[in-house]
Each structure stands twice: as structure tokens, then as C-alpha cells.
């Protein structure tokens, strides 16, 4: 029996893996398995255990909302987060199985946690300090039922979280023997990441706790490292507030802290680099300043379910392992503290997360590539060989006829090198030309990668060739490249995209330059709007979660006031002409391409008023357009939204292209 074409509803069959945790004693690997639930209303997560050779892979917890597996260092205990009722708590069980039991009792739930090296304590983040009162003329007002929300800060909302509720995220330590938790931090700031020292006494954390009380913290983009001891809760600042820091980790001897940080020299386009600071001296060093690479994972896909969890020290504390985003792939890199570095992986792929085995002989990693959305692999460092440990999607993917993208590079008219990919249509016949879709990523400081994309495979199954590329402004190609779009939205980034299409038409004989479509989301939605307002070469377009008007975006987006200043170099009162110049809405009379507008109603990153303005302007002029609002959907609809809405989104993209591109449907 022949293979079939992929469909939008195949989303319901995918299984994703994330958060590998290697037992320090047995090398068994715990990981999270995620899939769409039975009624297609959300996702179930449970924890599985796989042997180091992949021969045994079995369910470990029942779920349906279990995440964040962790082993004690002596290998006797196993901990994880379980949502049982309204809140997440830390649960524990014997490392060889048995009944799990709740350990923490955080009033508002546990956000993340870490077991102490001696296994006696649990560090966790939780929200505290609920604001329940409003004020009138300085008097506190309390009343039952509904009441007004009083807002007195700039950063009062966040996409995915909604309006700020007055809570701050702080650090707690739970004594497992006593069954009690103690707050380690407090104040008008949020703790964002943390790690234990090997002595199970000292803790490092990151926070934006400003020394100058006259400075508005919502205008500050940097933060600091702090250390605090479990027994006295007196914090000490280790850095000088010049960096934006994330994911700190202690060395095995407790003398060094490694972390990723940006110096913000190029605003939000600044590269993340690897730093260390000695403890307790506080001597800072950067270990990747000689490399023009972005550290971490900045790849954009519609399949990823886990986030990079930070650098890892080698056993001898002389090296640090981390991820690097490089030219359309994400690899593991090993930095020596003597100034050396070594790439440990190669080829077109995306490594999402990784851990080391206790003896440092192997790296366990979640890896995706063109043809699969992410599985668990083990890479032996001595033999440089890799084996696949999990196979949840293999039988399902074996049913499908998929299209393998081809990587290309081209030189722009002003001499820059730009990378792209070409996805041939399924069932392609020699000598025939096929309608072609240009896909544009968000960010703009993200990166398309050599990773699996359901949307691109679906378009290929519908008989489309798909072009996707990383125009200047994306990570993976150095500091100058990623910074190049700031202040120039719709300039050379637009030219890069048009020249990518020109290159593809000239070099891939199955592309049809007369039957072109374009789509993208977020920044890709902005650019879709910009393209159709500046050229008529595309016969159909779908703009998703887009920006159409920088002037209103400044005040309505959760990041608008600082992102607009950083990316467009202006604000809504002093630089209105500049913001309007870069707004697609300013050129709406020039839009002739049929434009489908897709937007989530709860998107606070690119609020739905951006779509509303564009739709009304087009409709008022009698242009071909349609506006689709997705209920209860935020900015991440395409990646982690309601499964049925994700499927509908895909169907509407395909349907619009099929409707307006001649010969688009197959």
C-alpha cells in the first residue's frame, strides 16, 4: 500500500518529547511525553523512562499533567511537577517506582524547582503578594464581587499570562524532613532562574532588583546574579547590572557560576554569550566573545515543546557545554575555560535540549530534523556515534509521503550571504511548474532551521513548492546580520525576501513565478503586510498575528513601548512620522493581493486591534479580504494553542491559497 499525504489533522497523532533527565547512578533517562488529549481540547503530559541503550521505554507516571522530571544525586528518589487540581506542586516517588506523593504545598503553585544535591531540600519558584485592593483618593477599597483593576506600572500585561495580578515570583526552599517551606526572597521584583551550589547551602538566582529606587524597573532590560544561603535569606549581588542574564549553574567545586548573557549593545538583537563569574570573588569573564555566534536555541518551528535549560559544567570543571544557533542549525558546543571551543554535533538539525551522563561519556539530547519533529537520542562522545532512544512517531511518519527540504545560499544585490530552503511539492513531475509559497518567520530575531515544520509539509502535500529563508535580522549568522533590520523594517529585509524568491525561481525549475503566495506570523505577518502593500507579484497572501500600525502597537502590545523604540527607533509622540512610515497600514491603498487575516483574540504580543485596523481599511475600499478571529488564542496559537484551532488555522491557510492561486489545489 502506498504512502499518503500529510493532513492538518495529523497534528492529533504527533507525540513530542522534552526535558530529558539522566539518573546519576543507573543512567536511566526520564523524559516528558506530550500528545493531544482524547477530546482534542488540549494536551496530556506524562513521564516515561527509557534505558540508556533505548531497548526499554515504558510509562513511569500516569499524568495527565506531569512535567519536569528530576533525579536525586544518589539515585534513590525521583521528583516531578504534577498539576493536581488548580495548582502545580512537586511530587516525589522512589526511583524504582511505587506511589507518588505530593511534597510542596505552595499556595499559588510551583513554577519550577530543583532538588538539592544532598536530596534534603527543594528549591522552587512560586508567585506571592496578591494585590486584592484598589484605592480611591488614597483610601484602600475592598468590596465583594467585581471591582476595578487599578494599573500603575508600564508592564501590566503579558501574552499568555494576561493582565498582571499584583503577584511577584519568588524563591522558596522546602525542607523535606520538616515538611515546611521558607521564603528566600521578597520584594518588588521577580526571580527568573536559579540553581543550587554543590554544598546544598548556597543558591544563585537571577532577578531585576534595582539598587536605585528612582529608576522604573519596567524600563530596564538588564538584571543581576545574586547568591543567598538557605539558612539566612540574606542575598548578595554578584554582577553590576550591565548584562541580561539567564540560566546560571554552579561548577562541581562551587567556585564558578556559568550563565548566558547579553550585553544589550545591539538592543534585542544582541548576541547571547557564555560568561562565568567566580564565587565568592565575583570576577567576571566572557568565554565566547571571539565567536560571532548566538548561544542557545533560537530556531522557530511549529513542533517544538521544550526550551533549552542552560549550560552544563564538565566533571573536571574545565569545560562548559551549551547550545549554539548557527546557520540554520542548532548544535552542542563545548567551551574550554582555557579559551578553546569544539562543536560536538554536525549536519542539518535542531538540538532542543540535552543532558550529560554522570560519567560524561554520552550526551542525551532531544533532536529534530527535516523529517521528524523531535526524538530522544544518545551521542557517545568517545566514538562520535549517535543512537535513537525513542520512536513514538516512527510508525505514523512511515505512513506519510514527506518532502525533504533542500538548503540553498544566495548572494544579495548588496553582497550579503543569505540562507534559504526549498521544499519540493509532493508528487512532483519533471518539467512541470508548481505554485510556490514564501514563508516568513517571526522574531525578527529568530531563525528558520533544518527542522520539521508541519505547515510546510502540509503545503507541499497540497502541491505547493515552499520557500523559506532567513533574511537579515535573524539569528544564526552573526551580530552584524541580526542587527541589520533594526530601524530598517521593510528595507533590506524586504529586499532579501524578494531576492530569495528571485533566486528560487531562477534555480529550481519547478517553481512558478506567476503563481506565488506569501504568509508569515508576527514579524512574518508584518512583512506579509508590507510585501502586499509594496508589490503585486503575489496572487494570494495570509497574514497571521501581524503588525499593521506601529503607532498603536506602541501602546497596546505587552512589549510595544520598548520593542518599538528598539526596533523602529522611535515612539508614538515624538516620532509618529517614522512609525507611520514603517507601518503597512500607511500603504493600504496599494494592497491588491487577496489577503486573509488570521489573529488570536487573546494575543497581547500583537493585539487583535492590529488585525482589525487592517481588515476595516481593506474592506472599506472593497478589497478582497477576510478576517478570522480565533477565540481564547494568544500569540502562540500555531505552536501550543488549542489543537482544534491549530488544525483550523492550517486548513484556512491552505484553503485561501487554493482559492486564489490558479491550480493551487491538487
Separation CA 396–CA 565 (nearest Å): 46
The answer for residues whose C-beta is within 8 angstroms of residue 410's C-beta and 6 or more apart is: 417, 418, 420, 499, 500, 503
Per-residue cell: 121: 531540600
Separation CA 466–CA 471 (nearest Å): 16
Closest C-alpha to 114, from 194, 28, 55, 168: 194
Contact between 89 and 108 under an 8 Å Cβ cutoff? The reply is no
Count the helix, strand and coil residues of the chain and give each as a percent rounded to the nearest 5.
20, 35, 45
Separation CA 51–CA 404 (nearest Å): 31
Separation CA 448–CA 429 (nearest Å): 27
β-sheet bridge partners, residue 441: none
Contact between 12 and 643 under an 8 Å Cβ cutoff? The reply is yes
Per-residue cell: 296: 542557545
Separation CA 47–CA 44 (nearest Å): 10
Closest C-alpha to 597, from 663, 544, 520: 544
The answer for residues whose C-beta is within 8 angstroms of residue 142's C-beta and 6 or more apart is: 132, 133
93-107 burial code (b ≥16 CB/10 A, e <16):
bebeeeebeebbebe
User: Kind and range of the H or E element at 541?
Assistant: strand 540-544
Closest C-alpha to 103, from 72, 125, 127, 80: 80
User: Kind and range of the H or E element at 616?
Assistant: helix 609-620
Residue 522 known to be catalytic: yes
| Residue whose grid cell is 534555480 | 507
Residue 635 known to be catalytic: yes
Per-residue cell: 328: 540554520
Closest C-alpha to 115, from 124, 107, 105, 106: 124
Closest C-alpha to 383, from 366, 354, 361: 361
Closest C-alpha to 363, from 383, 335, 349: 383
Contact between 458 and 494 under an 8 Å Cβ cutoff? The reply is no
Closest C-alpha to 434, from 514, 543, 544: 514
Separation CA 534–CA 263 (nearest Å): 36
Among residues 170, 599, 635, 642, the one annotated as catalytic is: 635
The answer for residues whose C-beta is within 8 angstroms of residue 637's C-beta and 6 or more apart is: 545, 600, 603, 630, 645, 646, 649
DSSP 89-112: EEEEEETT----EE----TT--SE
Closest C-alpha to 276, from 320, 227, 226, 210: 320
Among residues 33, 68, 95, 522, the one annotated as catalytic is: 522
Cα–chain center distance at 455? 17
What count of other Cβ atoms lies within 10 Å of the Cβ of residue 125? 22
Supply the DSSP symbol for 145. Answer: S
Separation CA 218–CA 240 (nearest Å): 18
Residues that are catalytic: 522, 635
Amino acid at each position: 500500500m502506498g504512502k499518503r499525504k500529510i493532513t492538518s489533522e495529523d497534528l492529533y497523532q504527533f507525540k513530542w518529547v522534552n526535558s530529558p533527565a539522566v539518573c546519576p547512578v543507573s543512567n536511566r533517562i526520564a523524559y516528558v511525553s506530550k500528545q493531544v488529549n482524547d477530546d482534542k481540547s488540549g494536551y496530556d503530559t506524562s513521564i516515561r523512562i527509557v534505558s540508556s541503550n533505548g531497548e526499554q521505554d515504558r510509562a513511569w507516571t500516569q499524568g495527565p499533567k506531569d512535567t519536569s522530571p528530576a533525579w536525586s544525586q544518589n539515585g534513590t528518589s525521583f521528583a516531578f511537577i504534577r498539576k493536581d487540581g488548580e495548582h502545580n506542586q512537586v511530587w516525589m516517588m522512589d526511583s524504582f517506582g511505587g506511589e507518588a506523593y505530593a511534597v510542596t504545598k505552595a499556595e499559588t503553585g510551583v513554577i519550577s524547582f530543583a532538588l538539592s544535591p544532598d536530596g534534603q531540600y527543594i528549591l522552587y519558584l512560586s508567585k506571592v503578594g496578591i494585590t486584592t485592593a484598589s484605592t480611591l483618593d488614597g483610601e484602600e477599597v475592598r468590596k465583594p464581587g467585581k471591582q476595578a483593576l487599578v494599573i500603575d506600572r508600564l508592564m501590566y500585561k503579558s501574552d499568555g499570562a494576561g493582565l498582571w495580578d499584583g503577584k511577584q515570583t519568588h524563591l522558596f526552599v522546602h525542607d523535606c524532613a520538616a515538611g515546611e517551606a521558607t521564603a528566600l526572597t521578597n520584594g518588588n521584583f521577580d526571580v527568573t532562574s536559579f540553581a543550587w551550589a554543590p554544598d546544598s547551602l548556597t543558591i544563585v538566582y537571577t532577578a531585576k532588583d534595582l539598587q536605585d529606587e528612582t529608576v522604573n524597573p519596567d524600563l530596564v532590560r538588564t538584571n543581576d546574579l545574586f547568591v543567598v544561603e538557605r539558612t539566612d535569606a540574606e542575598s548578595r549581588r554578584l554582577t553590576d547590572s550591565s548584562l541580561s542574564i539567564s540560566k546560571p549553574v554552579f561548577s562541581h567545586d562551587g567556585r564558578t557560576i556559568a550563565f548566558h548573557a547579553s550585553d544589550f549593545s545591539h538592543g534585542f538583537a544582541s548576541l547571547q554569550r557564555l560568561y562565568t563569574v567566580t564565587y565568592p570573588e565575583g570576577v567576571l569573564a566572557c568565554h565566547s566573545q571571539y565567536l560571532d555566534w548566538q548561544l542557545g536555541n533560537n530556531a522557530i518551528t511549529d513542533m517544538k515543546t521544550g526550551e533549552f535549560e542552560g549550560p552544563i559544567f564538565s566533571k573536571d570543571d574545565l569545560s562548559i557545554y551549551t547550545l549554539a544557533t548557527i546557520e540554520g542549525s542548532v548544535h552542542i558546543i563545548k567551551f574550554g575555560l582555557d579559551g578553546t571551543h569544539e562543536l560536538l554535533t554536525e549536519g542539518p538539525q535542531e538540538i532542543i535540549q540535552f543532558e550529560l551522563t554522570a560519567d560524561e561519556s554520552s550526551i542525551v539530547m532531544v533532536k529534530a530534523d527535516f523529517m521528524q519533529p523531535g526524538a530522544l537520542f544518545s551521542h557517545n562522545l568517545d566514538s562520535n556515534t549517535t543512537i535513537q532512544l525513542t520512536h513514538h512517531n516512527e510508525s505514523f511518519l512511515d505512513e506519510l509521503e514527506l518532502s525533504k527540504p533542500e538548503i540553498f545560499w544566495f548572494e544579495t544585490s548588496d553582497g550579503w550571504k543569505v540562507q534559504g530552503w526549498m521544499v519540493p511539492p509532493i508528487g512532483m513531475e519533471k518539467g512541470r511548474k508548481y505554485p510556490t509559497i514564501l514563508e516568513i518567520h517571526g522574531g525578527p530575531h529568530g531563525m528558520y532551521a533544518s527542522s520539521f515544520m508541519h505547515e510546510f509539509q502540509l503545503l507541499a502535500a497540497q502541491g505547493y513548492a515552499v520557500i523559506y529563508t532567513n533574511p537579515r535580522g535573524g539569528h544564526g549568522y552573526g551580530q552584524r546580520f541580526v542587527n541589520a533590520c533594526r530601524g530598517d523594517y521593510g528595507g533590506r529585509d524586504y529586499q532579501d525576501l524578494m531576492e530569495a524568491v528571485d533566486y528560487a525561481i531562477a534555480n529550481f525549475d519547478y517553481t512558478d513565478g506567476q503563481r506565488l503566495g506569501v504568509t508569515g506570523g508576527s514579524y512574518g505577518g508584518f512583512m506579509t503586510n508590507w510585501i502586499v502593500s509594496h508589490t503585486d507579484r503575489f496572487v494570494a497572501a495570509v497574514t497571521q498575528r501581524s503588525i499593521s500600525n506601529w503607532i498603536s502597537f506602541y501602546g497596546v502590545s505587552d512589549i510595544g513601548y520598548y520593542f518599538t523604540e528598539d526596533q523602529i527607533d522611535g515612539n508614538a509622540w515624538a516620532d509618529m512620522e517614522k512609525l507611520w512610515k514603517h507601518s503597512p497600514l500607511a500603504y493600504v491603498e496599494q494592497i491588491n493581493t487577496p489577503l486573509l487575516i488570521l489573529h488570536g483574540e487573546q494575543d497581547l504580543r500583537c493585539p487583535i486591534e492590529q488585525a482589525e485596523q487592517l481588515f476595516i481599511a481593506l474592506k472599506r475600499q472593497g478589497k478582497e479580504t477576510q478576517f478570522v478571529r480565533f477565540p481564547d488564542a494568544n500569540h502562540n496559537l500555531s505552536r501550543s494553542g488549542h489543537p482544534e484551532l491549530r488544525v483550523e488555522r492550517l486548513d484556512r491557510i491552505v484553503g485561501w491559497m487554493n482559492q486564489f492561486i490558479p491550480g493551487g489545489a491538487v
